[in-house]
Amino acid sequence: MAKASMIRWLALGAALALASPAVQAQQKDPIRIGELNSYSKWAAFTVPYRNGWQMALEEINAKGGVLGRPIEIISRDDGATPGDATRVADELVTRENVSLLFGSFLSNAGVAMADFANQKKIPYIAAEPLTDAITMAQGNRYTYRIRPNNFMQVGMLVDEAKLSGAKRWAIVAPNYEYGQSAAEVFKRLIKERVPGAEIVAEQYPALGKIEAGATVSALEQAKPDGIFNVLFGPDLTQFVREGNTRGLFEDATVLSLLTGEPEWMLPLKDEVPEGWTVTGYPWDQIKEPKHEAFVKAYREKYSETPRLGSLLGYMTAYMIRDTIERAGSTETEAILKALEDTKFETVIGPVTMRGIDNQSTMGAWVGKLEQQGAGGRMTDWEYKAGEPFMHPESEVKAARKE
């Protein structure tokens, strides 16, 4: 009896193991694209992002795909670590035979992916990771990035800091690639652009492991009149709540990366800190018709408001379509050539892939936070195009090893 049931279990296991997704095969040979992202660990950003590219993909394939073939995106979880990301990427390249990779969320995974792309000579579009390294020190001809990097976003914020007159700055940033890179850029830019500015306190909690009360007291102790924040996700909500309670932000100018993005602002609810200068995405206030159409379609499809991730996923899928169309094939060299220095029409206007560092000129919305009802929104905002804030060419040439 026991043996018989064991055999049944084994049979079940074998059945599970062998049921590979052959069902997905389509009639016309599809173009296979690999996608990987931190869908389980950073679902707040990546799930809307997946909604975005899935919506674009459906639109594209409904119009006949590209080069007369449908596009198929094979999507995987990247495990949110550098090692897992490259392992999954390897699987996509060698088993699924994809001709291009895009995705990843955390900057450290992005840097590892850039290294992987260079080693395996496969085009990789880093949609989200923000560290400068991806297009600077670790940059290579196979790796492209769409979002404005740390240097650009911090540059936009520091311009706002000039007006505030704050001189004593405190930094709080997650202790991994993204936070370290942003803090470094900030230290450099604030000293270059605001004469007399000094850094009086720095706190680097481990990502996802902040001791918010202790961190806020430690910052308070230094009596800063300006605070530069790079925290996001669960760390941010805890930090904001403790900071609000203890009055850390009351007399300080606060510059904060990404906090205006709905994915990070919504969980703050009625605690949205008034007056913070942030980069973000005021999706409901952007009036360009193309963008409004995107928002309308997205809300109808998912009965949910878009996040920045949704926009990014949507833009990225269309940029890949345009690239393949221009390349006329899925050969690596043709794709690289079709990306370099190319102008793309997107729902937020034209965006160019700058050839010397493979960084796109996508800009960011910069504004202030204010409370509205039981949540928050961006006010006084302005879309800053990326071009004026990009790394100067001489620096790019010095940093990139090619």
Residues 35, 53 contacting (CB under 8 angstroms): yes
- Asked if residue 87 lies in contact with residue 106, where contact means CB atoms within 8 angstroms, the answer is no
Task: Kindly tell me which of 62 and 250 has the beta carbon lying closer to other proteins.
Answer: 250
Q: Number of H helices and number of E strands within the chain?
A: 13, 15
Q: What's the CA gap between 25 and 23, in Å, rounded?
A: 6
Contact between 108 and other proteins (CB under 8 A)?
A: yes
- The answer to whether 375 contacts other proteins (rule: CB under 8 A) is no
State which residue, 221 or 329, has the beta carbon closest to other proteins: 221
Query: How many Cβ atoms are within 10 Å of 341's Cβ, its own excluded?
Result: 11
* Residue 9, Cβ density class (10 Å: 0-12 exposed, 13-18 middle, ≥19 buried): exposed
Of 34, 35, 37, 47, the one binding other proteins by CB under 8 A: 47
CB of 314 to other proteins, least distance (A): 18
Q: How many other C-beta atoms can be found within 10 angstroms of the C-beta atom of residue 62?
A: 9
Q: Which CB atom, from 84 or from 395, has the smaller least distance to other proteins? A: 84
User: Binding residue for other proteins (CB under 8 A) from 29, 192, 193, 214?
Assistant: 214
Residue 77 makes contact with other proteins by CB under 8 A = yes
Number of residues that bind other proteins (CB under 8 A): 73
Q: Residue 9, interface with other proteins (CB under 8 A)?
A: yes
User: Is residue 282 within the footprint of other proteins (CB under 8 A)?
Assistant: no
Residue 23 binds other proteins (CB under 8 A): no
The only residue of 59, 159, 202, 292 in contact with other proteins, by rule CB under 8 A: 202
Residue 366: strand pairing partners = 279, 382
Kindly tell me which of 215 and 279 has the beta carbon lying closer to other proteins: 215
Question: Residue 219 or residue 362: which is nearer to other proteins going by CB?
Answer: 219
The pair of three-digit structure tokens given for residue 367, joined into one six-digit string: 């504004």
Q: Is 72 in the site for other proteins (CB under 8 A)?
A: no
Report whether 378 contacts 367 (CB < 8 A). yes
Locus of tokens 């395996």: 120
The helix-helix angle for 332-339 and 308-327 (nearest 10°) equals 120
**Cα–Cα distance, 247 to 244 (Å, whole number):** 5
Pick 211 or 225: Cβ nearer other proteins: 211
Q: Which stretch binds other proteins (CB under 8 A): 150-158, 210-218, 285-293, 313-321?
A: 210-218
Query: Whose CA is closest to 355, among 384, 323, 396, 318?
Result: 396
Task: Please provide the DSSP assignment of 388-401 as one string.
Answer: GGSPPHHHHHHH--
Q: Measuring CA to CA, which residue among 152, 213, 167 is closest to residue 354?
A: 152
Rounded least distance, CB 61 to other proteins, Å:
21
Cα within 13 Å of Cα(38), Cβ side: 23
Which span (142-150, 207-215, 279-287, 361-369) binds other proteins, by CB under 8 A? 207-215
Interface region with other proteins, contact rule CB under 8 A, candidates 142-150, 265-273, 283-291, 385-393: 265-273
Binding mask 226-255 for other proteins (x = CB under 8 A): -------xx--xx--xx--xxx--------
Residue 212 as a binder of other proteins (CB under 8 A): the answer is yes
- Per DSSP, the residues of 10-48 read HHHHHHHHH--SGGG--SS-PEEEEEEE-TTTTHHHHHH
Residue 63 binds to other proteins (criterion: CB under 8 A) = no
**86 contributes a contact to other proteins by CB under 8 A:** yes
Region from 16-24, 155-163, 186-194, 327-335 binding other proteins, contact rule CB under 8 A: 16-24
What is the nearest approach in angstroms of other proteins to the Cβ of residue 120?
Answer: 9
Measured CA to CA, the distance from residue 49 to residue 316 in angstroms comes to 10
Is 187 one of the binding residues for other proteins (CB under 8 A)? Answer: no
184 binds other proteins (CB under 8 A): no
Binding mask 318-357 for other proteins (x = CB under 8 A): ----------------------------------------
> Could you give phi then psi for residue 231, rounded to 5 degrees?
-65, 150
Rounded to the nearest whole angstrom, what is the least distance from the CB of residue 38 to other proteins in the complex?
Answer: 11
Please identify, among the stretches 64-72, 84-92, 149-157, 393-401, the one whose residues bind other proteins according to the rule CB under 8 A.
84-92
